[in-house]
Amino acid sequence: MNFSQDTSEETTNIHSYTEDYLVVNGTKFDCHCLIHKDGLIQPWAPALPNSPEPADFDAIIACEPEVILLGTGTKLTFPPKEVRQFFLRNNIGLEVMDTGAACRTYNILLAEGRNVAAAILLNRNY
């Protein structure tokens, strides 16, 4: 899906996505990604993509977002209890949704000026 939202060079926008890739600030990523509004865009390789662990979120936690959107591919898959408790203990919101919804919600929260981050899982096997 492509977005037609105006973008700012000061923030990190998700321009489009498919099941196999994301386009963030004009760059195509065909891997799982961590994205933060202030410019962090990096490939993400959780130990087990279908079951991430708290340590898999270290790079995005370091950005101190108020909420992290976890996109779980085309199917909604909740992370293990330990991950949910980790976010609760660190006072960071965790919203779990399919990847399309996570990308759209990320851009909406970004436009509202929120300190948002996304951890996006694609449907590719790595």
Q: Would residue 9 count as lying in a domain?
A: no
Q: What is the CATH number of the domain that holds 59?
A: 3.40.1230.10
Q: What is the mean pLDDT of residues 10-24?
A: 90
- Which domain covers residue 80, as residue numbers? 25-121
Q: Would residue 2 count as lying in a domain?
A: no
Give the span between the Cα atoms of 71 and 43, in whole angstroms: 14
Contact 5, 14 (CB under 8 A): no
Q: What is the mean pLDDT of residues 12-35?
A: 93
- Other beta carbons within 10 Å of 34: 22
Write the CA distances from 71 to 8, 76, 115, 120, integer angstroms. Answer: 23, 8, 17, 5
Least confident of 1-10, 95-104, 108-117: 1-10
* pLDDT above 80 (res 90): yes
pLDDT in tens, 48-64: 777 899 999 999 999 99
Element (H, E) at 3: none
Provide the pLDDT for residue 11.
Answer: 80
Q: Would residue 1 count as lying in a domain?
A: no
Q: Which two tokens stand for residue 103?
A: 């990308």
Provide the pLDDT for residue 23.
Answer: 95
Q: Would residue 14 count as lying in a domain?
A: no
Token pair 């196999």 in the structure block, residue: 20
Q: Would residue 15 count as lying in a domain?
A: no
